[in-house]
A = this chain, B = another copy of it.
């Protein structure tokens, strides 16, 4: 369970994880492997999930079968469903959506039939020029059954594919029309087409199992199916896999890349390696930088589980202050947990997170967390430490303050809920009840992943958007 489930709305959400596998004669159980892969990507989306497969029927005709629903991977799939999803290729998706019974329609992959056949599409990211494209499509009479960008992309794909005989070319044509963040896997009856936007906003990697190919949002999904990591999909690259192997189309590569830096700070699993840089190392580095930039006399360094733990260890390494276990998180709190009543709201956190009195009592504590959105949750955690007897609480945040909305696939979409837009550092420190508060500097943040030679998108901190963001996206 990611922190968002614990702290409710007071956090940042990413919106998707994607996984694809193309069996090239290895007799793999592609739906089961996709199921394992989605498990490893579950942290990227817990609201709905789905799998589509290329099924060869008795007459050797290929049809696309799919199954998707609201819920966690383990809630949606069972052995009977997986058994029905036989095929030689599969594409899977996990999705975070805002709540609402009526949103089942938005689950992915999206399977579409068009003039030249059918395809399944899974998409991670957010387009910024979607309103203009939708308008154009609607003028031609298009209808939309979902509110997903994926449906936009699917319609463009169909239109372009009708005009050309190559799926790769169609995909590249679509990429010149859309702008923003997108990691895409398209499965057609004969091949798998994989694309990453020219800025490479979100991760997408290639792995191999014997002669078969695997694609996933993060390398931890490759590990889960015991695939060998081959390389990342390049920003702007289109990769096509068919029975003749893997083909790369790089016409759109070479633009200034802009990987979302928050993937390193919070979104991705620490055991993933993105564009050459270890997420775990990035977080250790964040902690080390914090220790250098904002040192403090203290007795113990602790992290807020799970995403603050790595940076806390880094802070300890650099500062020499011992690392300690500050909190125990209840591992059994799931989606169906019955929330405390309104009046007990104060106590809600206590059920999910318990401060370790032995580590904290009488100590000067450095507490590391990955970010502050509204500040309410952070304030409650500080209070847990005070109640457990902490003498001092020094909060260190392993990212700079959020000052700008994100248009590329997270839900930091509104300045109104960002505490850093409303309070000064001192006011925030006082609001959360800490003895001191420091954020990671912009400069340090830009040096978290020296191994990654590509640029990062840090617009939520700096306001430097790597692509033009139309006005209407600002609503």
Interface residues of A (CB under 8 A from B): 1-2, 29, 32, 35-36, 39-40, 42-43, 46, 65-67, 69, 72-75, 77-79, 81-82, 84, 101-102, 104-105, 110-115, 135, 138-145, 147, 154-155, 158-159, 162, 220, 223-224, 226, 269-271, 273, 278, 280-281, 306, 309-310, 313, 317, 322-325, 328, 330-334, 336-338, 340-341, 347, 350-351, 354-359
Contact = CB atoms under 8 A, between A and B. Distances in A.
Contacts of A340: 32, 36
Contact of A143 (B114, B281, B317, B328): B114
Given A102-B66, A114-B144, A42 B332 contact: yes
B306 A331 contact: yes
Contacts of A65: 101-102
Nearest to A67: B101
Nearest to A226: B347
A81 B2 CA distance: 27
Contacts of A355: 271
Contact of A330 (B40, B78, B337): B40
B39 A331 contact: no
Contacts of A40: 330, 351, 354
Contacts of A78: 336, 338
Given A74-B337, A271-B356, A336-B75, A145 B351 contact: no
Given A220-B354, A350-B223, A142 B162 contact: no
24 contacts: A2-B331, A39-B351, A40-B330, A40-B354, A69-B104, A72-B332, A74-B332, A75-B336, A79-B338, A84-B102, A105-B111, A112-B143, A112-B145, A113-B145, A138-B162, A140-B141, A141-B162, A142-B158, A143-B155, A145-B145, A224-B350, A224-B354, A226-B347, A270-B356
A35 B340 CA distance: 10
Q: Which 4 A-B pairs have the closest CB atoms?
A: A115-B138, A141-B159, A112-B143, A271-B328
A280 B356 contact: yes
Stoichiometry (number of copies): 4
B354 A271 contact: yes
Contact of A331 (B75, B317, B331, B354): B331
Contacts of A309: 325
Contacts of A104: 69
A39 B348 CA distance: 13
Nearest to A162: B141
Contact of A39 (B43, B105, B278, B333): B333
Given A325-B310, A338-B77, A144 B331 contact: no
Max count, chain B CB within 10 A of own CB: residue among A69, A138, A142: A142
A145 B43 CA distance: 28
B140 A114 contact: no
Nearest to A66: B102
B145 A142 contact: no
